[in-house]
Amino acid sequence: MDVDRFVRDYYEALRRGEPLDTYFQQGPDIVKIGVFSHRLGGEAVAEALRDQTARTEDWAVESRDLRTFSRDGFAHFVDDVRLVWTDTRRDHRHDVETRWTGLVEPQGEEPLFVSMHVSAVVERKRTDQGVERAQCGVAGPQSGADDGSE
């Protein structure tokens, strides 16, 4: 199972606006946590990804540190990824530094995601009073899962 190639293929499909749900196994225990959302169950994940593909375009996916690990027929990955996309319903461009983790299992000869977690990097800034304030690296409106990205 070539997990590195599989994850990079997923990134390329995202860039090209291709369907992403085929990269995930089906079943009630499939999990996808996105920058603005949380989905549990293969059908909920697939529906959210189809909606994301329909309402977004012009993706840039810049992988900076993809690492994959395999053990006993299972694999996981971690990566730092810059994501840039346009939410076509809001005509808004997003630019987000993210961290990705996920679990991949074989389905026959092909790997498929069983879980994926994409989180926005939080920057910590010191104020004049020496207090740290956390600031999410997400540009644009903060309105829950209605931002175009799952």
* Per-residue pLDDT tens over the stretch 61-79: 999 999 999 998 899 999 9
* Domains of the chain, CATH where assigned: 3-11+22-136 (3.10.450.50)
Residues 116-140 as b/e (b if ≥16 CB within 10 A, e otherwise) read bbbebeeeeeeeeeeeeeeeeebee
Asked if 36 and 144 touch (Cβ cutoff 8 Å), the reply is yes
* Per-residue pLDDT tens over the stretch 82-100: 999 999 999 999 999 999 9
C-alpha 108, offset from chain centre: 24
